[in-house]
């Protein structure tokens, strides 16, 4: 039912390295993780890059918006110094670079489509086209990556381009009409905030045959409880506290 890894590094390598960077993915690898969630946003010239916030200031210094900045300029920006001097100069990676890095290192990808406001469809289309092309070039048998998004519009746009790449719909709190919302975007999984999830909701999602993914779980006791409820997978910021094979222990 859930063919993917069950324990996934959030934003690349959790909070032990700068989020949404290759350094983050390396950090996950060092902790035994072969599965990562990260956020994909569009540059001004339509190139998917890894970024969580639509505006600069938190993880990259300066003022401005990702949607108004070219990919070439984004590639020169420092996404590591905010985290610590050891990571100074760590660039904003393109989604293409991250796909290649994950392929080389056997990392399964949960690519969260994170559109800047007003760019949902464009971001979904561009991310799907890029990933579809990369998968075709890689060839061979593989576990399919998984798209997710809080934006139904982005997921529908991704589906139009690459229906074969599965989708999970992110919803912070499970609404009564969750199943209709998943079916609208052709999602096979519900991704939700574990803090708002109730045991009976988890059971309902599983009984209806959907995957169930929680974010962002950093406490092993909570992780155990969620797995006991039937939650299929979760992402974590604490790859040092929760082992990559936690679900099988
Ligand atoms: O995809 C799960 C999680 O990443 C959603 O929240 O804000 O960390 O992207 P956020
Ligand atoms: Mg995310």
**What's the confidence (pLDDT) of residue 16?**
98
Residue 144 Cα to ligand 1 middle (Å): 20
The per-residue pLDDT for range 72-118, each reduced to its tens digit, is 999 999 999 999 999 999 999 999 999 999 999 999 999 999 999 99
Per the confidence metrics, is the pTM higher than 0.90?
A: yes
237 touches ligand 1 (CB under 6 Å): no
Q: Which of 31, 52, 103, 191 is catalytic?
A: 52
215 touches ligand 1 (CB under 6 Å): yes
pLDDT band at 1 (very low <50, low <70, confident <90, very high): confident
Pairing verdict, β 48-50 and 35-42? antiparallel
The per-residue pLDDT for range 42-73, each reduced to its tens digit, is 999 999 999 999 999 999 999 999 999 999 99
- State the virtual CA torsion across 167, 2, 183, 147 in degrees, nearest 10: -10
State the closest ligand 1 atom to the C-alpha of 114, by its place in the atom list counted from 1: 9
Arch. (CATH architecture) of 7-248:
Alpha-Beta Barrel (3.20)
Residue nearest to atom 5 of ligand 1 (CA): 215
39 touches ligand 1 (CB under 6 Å): yes
Q: Is the ipTM of this complex over 0.90?
A: yes
10 is catalytic: yes
**What's the confidence (pLDDT) of residue 169?**
99
State the closest ligand 1 atom to the C-alpha of 39, by its place in the atom list counted from 1: 9
Residue 200 Cα to ligand 2 middle (Å): 25
Residue 135 Cα to ligand 1 middle (Å): 24
Q: What is the mean pLDDT of residues 240-248?
A: 97
One DSSP character per residue, 53-116 reads: -SBSSSSS-SS-BGGGS-HHHHTTSBSSTTT-GGGTT-B--BHHHHHHHHHHHT-EEEEEE-PP
The domain segmentation of the chain, as residue ranges, is 7-248
pLDDT band at 31 (very low <50, low <70, confident <90, very high): very high
Residue 128 Cα to ligand 1 middle (Å): 19
The per-residue pLDDT for range 115-170, each reduced to its tens digit, is 999 999 999 999 999 999 999 999 977 899 999 999 999 999 999 999 999 999 99
**What's the confidence (pLDDT) of residue 111?**
99
């Amino acid at each position: 039912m859930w063919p993917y890894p069950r324990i996934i590094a959030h934003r690349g390598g959790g909070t032990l390295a700068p989020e949404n960077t290759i350094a983050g993915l390396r950090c996950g690898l060092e902790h035994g993780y072969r599965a990562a969630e990260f956020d994909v946003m569009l540059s001004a010239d339509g190139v998917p890059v890894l970024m969580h916030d639509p505006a600069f200031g938190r993880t990259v210094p300066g003022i401005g918006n990702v949607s108004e900045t070219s990919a070439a300029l984004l590639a020169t920006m420092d996404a590591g110094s905010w985290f610590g001097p050891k990571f100074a100069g760590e660039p904003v990676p393109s989604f293409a670079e991250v796909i290649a890095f994950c392929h080389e290192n056997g990392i399964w990808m949960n690519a969260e489509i994170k559109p800047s406001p007003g760019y949902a469809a464009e971001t979904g289309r561009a991310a799907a086209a890029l990933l579809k092309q990369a998968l075709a070039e890689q060839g061979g048998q593989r576990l399919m990556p998984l798209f997710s998004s809080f934006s139904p519009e982005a997921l529908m746009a991704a589906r139009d381009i690459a229906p074969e790449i599965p989708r999970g719909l992110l919803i912070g709190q499970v609404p009564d009409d969750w199943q209709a919302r998943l079916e609208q975007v052709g999602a096979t999984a519900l991704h939700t905030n574990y803090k708002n999830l109730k045991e009976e909701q988890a059971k309902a999602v599983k009984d209806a045959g959907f995957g169930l993914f929680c974010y962002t779980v950093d406490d092993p006791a909570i992780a155990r409880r969620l797995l006991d409820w039937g939650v299929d997978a979760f992402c974590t910021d604490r790859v040092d506290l929760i082992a990559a094979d936690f679900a099988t222990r």
